[in-house]
């Protein structure tokens, strides 16, 4: 874009990594896992003679938080637009997009294996680093606009949003796989996606309307709802930690 390359060539170039990423999973060689004797297995099914594993408390707080996080989740186009408008340069907006995506990807890559060993640990990280982090990122952007701060402050807020995106996209599926194991996993993942979708649809509509009124009001709304989501998640943590301590500390649920 800096050298005014036509958009058709820019988009055509994305076909190369798209083709590579599409072909890579076919070579992963992931094998099938044996059944673990979940409740509801028919008599004689593999593992049916085993006792079902104790199940952690319900995942409703996680679904509620996912929906609320969806309400505060806004399209990456909003920070891109905010940076581009403030600087008067389209390239600055694209730079904000790269900061957000790079921070998110790096967070997800480094987070693997460091999620904690049980649902209490994972949900605590989701509440503190995810939802509360989202509140901080949106709050920084709102303060930047309201106080007319410099562009680097805005980019810090964008980077925090990217970090949070990496946290949530990594921890939420891991936590739900612990809270809804075995045959309930598919329904759990579906419920999680539905909560996100409902929240994100509403959140983007509300953000769009508020953005037309005031940038700081829009991001302030996102910060408040994210903080509420974090509070809901953290309320569920003590019960999950109690369950975790009573069932061997969750050694089998490494991140």
For residue range 189-227, list pLDDT tens digits in order: 787 778 777 777 888 888 889 988 988 898 998 888 888
37 within a domain of the structure (yes/no): no
CB count within 10 Å of CB 246 equals: 9
Give which of 217, 191, 193 is closest to 206, Cα–Cα: 217
103 within a domain of the structure (yes/no): yes
52: Cβ contacts below 8 Å, ≥ 6 apart: 37, 38, 39
Distance CA 221, CA 233 (A): 19
pLDDT digits (tens, 9 = 90+) for 62-115: 676 666 666 666 777 888 888 888 777 888 888 888 999 999 889 888 876 565
Reply yes or no on whether the pLDDT at 4 is more than 60.
Answer: yes
44 within a domain of the structure (yes/no): no
Q: What CATH number has the domain bearing residue 224?
A: 1.20.1250.20
Predicted local confidence at residue 75, as pLDDT: 76
20 within a domain of the structure (yes/no): no
33 within a domain of the structure (yes/no): no
7 within a domain of the structure (yes/no): no
Q: How many domains does the chain have?
A: 1
Tokens of 20: 């590579």
| 30 three-state secondary structure | coil
Instruction: Supply the range of the domain harboring residue 218.
Output: 58-243
**What are the C-alpha distances in Å from 80 to residues 1, 59, 93, 127, 209?**
15, 34, 4, 26, 17
5 within a domain of the structure (yes/no): no
253 within a domain of the structure (yes/no): no
């Amino acid at each position: 874009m800096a050298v005014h390359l036509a958009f058709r060539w820019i988009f055509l170039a994305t076909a190369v990594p798209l083709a590579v990423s599409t072909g890579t999973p076919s070579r992963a060689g992931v094998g099938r896992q044996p059944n673990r004797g979940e409740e509801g297995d028919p008599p004689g099914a593999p593992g049916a003679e085993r006792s079902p594993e104790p199940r952690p408390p319900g995942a409703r707080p996680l679904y509620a938080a996912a929906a609320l996080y969806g309400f505060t989740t806004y399209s990456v186009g909003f920070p891109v637009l905010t940076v581009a408008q403030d600087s008067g340069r389209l390239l600055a907006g694209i730079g904000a997009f790269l900061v957000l995506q790079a921070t998110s990807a790096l967070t997800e890559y480094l987070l693997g294996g460091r999620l904690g060993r049980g649902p209490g640990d994972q949900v605590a990280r989701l509440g503190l680093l995810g939802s509360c982090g989202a509140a901080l990122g949106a709050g920084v952007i709102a303060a930047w606009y309201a106080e007319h701060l410099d562009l680097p402050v805005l980019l810090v807020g964008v980077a925090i949003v990217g970090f949070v995106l990496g946290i949530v996209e990594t921890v939420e599926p891991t936590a739900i796989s612990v809270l809804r194991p075995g045959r309930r996993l598919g329904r759990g993942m579906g419920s999680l996606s539905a909560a996100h979708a409902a929240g994100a649809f509403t959140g983007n509509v509300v953000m769009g309307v508020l953005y037309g009124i005031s940038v700081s009001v829009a991001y302030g709304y996102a910060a408040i709802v994210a903080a509420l989501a974090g509070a809901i998640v953290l309320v569920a943590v003590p019960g999950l930690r109690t369950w975790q301590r009573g069932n061997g500390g969750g050694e089998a649920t490494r991140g």
